[in-house]
């Protein structure tokens, strides 16, 4: 059984978006993964097919109604569905490569894309939606966030990437940022490729890359280095 993504959104035409192109798109055509985008509005029953209402307690904006959204969730994900139900949300658990890897190893995902001010808390609780954030900034809707999450997952699915090796050498896979890359020409605008990379000595090359990874990580992301430290003894 291949990886299956069900998306609940007010803009189903945004999917598969860029995931219909390139390696992800070819994998989609082959059936290595599948995606269905369901229109939340299809579950609204009033004359105006409204999906949102004003916030209880007052304030700006609108809130996605719990009854409509719950019907949409139930339509794609029954009680026996083993897939995690995610809600894209700036309040959510920060998306990491480890979480992406866990999701890619599972049967698929159900993703709710928020809009307006967000969704009624009761549907988050009642349908056990796990909130996931792609970063500390506010998007106008969950759709681009869902596409980011899916992009990161799909490229890890078996058979999707041409060169599987490049997926294990990447930034974050070992908790470090990746080393710099070079290719021909050997001299360009007065700058040359570091000689060690042309030495043919694989051990030296590996050591140089590791040292560069550690240097860049310490410089740019000291938070990652700190995270790797073992707890002090005692």
Distance CA 95, CA 103 (A): 11
| Least distance between ligand SAH and beta carbon 84 (Å) | 15
| Least distance between ligand SAH and beta carbon 174 (Å) | 26
Q: Which residue number, 70 or 225, has a Cβ lying nearer to ligand SAH?
A: 70
| Least distance between ligand SAH and beta carbon 222 (Å) | 23
Q: Which residue number, 139 or 161, has a Cβ lying nearer to ligand SAH?
A: 139
88: nearest Cα among 16, 141, 11, 150: 141
Q: Which residue number, 25 or 141, has a Cβ lying nearer to ligand SAH?
A: 141
Task: State the residues that interact with ligand SAH by CB under 6 A.
Answer: 88-91, 113-115, 117-118, 133-135, 137-139, 141-142, 145
Q: Which residue number, 98 or 186, has a Cβ lying nearer to ligand SAH?
A: 98
Q: Which residue number, 9 or 213, has a Cβ lying nearer to ligand SAH?
A: 9
| End-to-end Cα, the chain, rounded Å | 48
| Least distance between ligand SAH and beta carbon 112 (Å) | 8
Tokens 């998007």 found at: 139
Residue 5 structure tokens:
């993504």
| Least distance between ligand SAH and beta carbon 1 (Å) | 28
Q: Which residue number, 114 or 213, has a Cβ lying nearer to ligand SAH?
A: 114
| Least distance between ligand SAH and beta carbon 143 (Å) | 8
77: nearest Cα among 19, 7, 144: 7
Q: Which residue number, 143 or 160, has a Cβ lying nearer to ligand SAH?
A: 143
| Least distance between ligand SAH and beta carbon 156 (Å) | 20
Of all residues in this chain, which one has the CB nearest to ligand SAH in the complex?
114
């Amino acid at each position: 059984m291949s990886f299956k993504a069900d998306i609940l959104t007010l803009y189903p035409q945004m999917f598969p978006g860029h995931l219909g192109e390139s390696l992800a798109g070819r994998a989609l055509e082959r059936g290595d993964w599948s995606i269905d985008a369901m229109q939340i509005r299809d579950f609204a029953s009033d004359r105006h097919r409204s999906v949102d209402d004003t916030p209880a307690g007052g304030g700006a904006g609108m809130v996605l109604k719990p009854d409509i959204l719950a019907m949409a969730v139930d339509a794609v994900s029954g009680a026996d569905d083993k897939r995690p139900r995610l809600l894209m949300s700036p309040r959510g658990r920060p998306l990491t490569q480890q979480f992406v890897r866990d999701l890619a190893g599972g049967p698929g995902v159900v993703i709710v894309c928020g809009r307006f001010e967000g969704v009624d808390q009761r549907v988050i609780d009642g349908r056990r939606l796990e909130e996931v954030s792609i970063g500390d900034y506010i998007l106008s809707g969950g759709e681009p966030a869902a596409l980011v999450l899916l992009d990161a997952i799909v490229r890890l699915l078996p058979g999707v990437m041409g060169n599987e090796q490049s997926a294990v050498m990447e930034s974050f896979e070992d908790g470090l940022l990746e080393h710099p890359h070079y290719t021909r020409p050997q001299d360009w605008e007065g700058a040359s490729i570091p000689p060690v990379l042309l030495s043919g000595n694989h051990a030296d090359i590996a050591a140089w890359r590791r040292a560069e990874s550690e240097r860049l990580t310490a410089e740019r992301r000291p938070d990652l280095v700190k995270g790797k430290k073992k707890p002090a003894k005692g």
